Amino acid sequence: MKAIIDGVIAVEGGFVDHPSDPGGATKYGITEAVARANGYRGHMRDLPRSTAFQIYYTRYVVAPNFDDAAEIDEKVAEELIDTGVNAGVDRASRWFQEALNAFNERGQTYANIAEDGDVGPATLNAFRAFKKRRGAAGTQAMLGALDALQGGHYLRLADNDSKFEDFAFGWFAHRIRNVA
């Protein structure tokens, strides 16, 4: 997990307070609201990397059970973590479930699962069955599906509110096809 979190922190970079970002001031990709919810009280510019790392691990790896997904496929988990940081863990989880349902061959490989954002036993069992059936090709297909759903989300954001056009190119340059 350390390498995955370190990679996301590297992409997110240091302190930013872009006027078009509804998240406000961020450092290492951690918004002020998230930092405060996790007990940080200082100025965002001073957020320690170690605090950001712990927030990532707790909020974006363990809480959504992406660490359990990593036991099945580390690359898919890396994509889920990265997407969770950038678009929210609920979206990342639901997109994962949506893709699993699309890939279940009309329920022949495993039953449909709820697209409820809970990566619990049903989702993880479906993922195990998917990986058993599809192997390495399944990893690549899942990464492609997750990227497609994420990319569509970014385009809708920019289409619905022009302030997100400030970020659209960067999202596609740094968040789509970034896990191989």
List the domain boundaries for the chain.
1-63, 66-180
Site of tokens 């069955």: 129
**What tokens does 128 get?**
């195990």
For the chain, 180 residues long, give each residue's pLDDT as a single digit of tens. 899 999 999 988 889 888 888 878 899 999 999 999 999 999 999 999 999 999 999 999 999 999 999 999 999 999 999 999 989 999 999 999 999 999 999 999 999 999 999 999 999 999 999 999 999 999 999 999 999 999 999 999 889 989 888 888 888 888 788 787
- Residue of 151, 154, 149, 180 lying closest to 78 (CA atoms): 180
Q: Distance of CA 28 to CAs 11, 52, 98, 108, 144, Å? A: 8, 7, 29, 42, 26
CATH of 1-63, one of 1.20.141.10, 3.40.50.450, 1.10.150.20, 1.10.3720.10: 1.20.141.10
Label residue 162 exposed, middle or buried (CB < 10 Å: 0-12, 13-18, 19+). exposed
Provide the residue count of the chain: 180
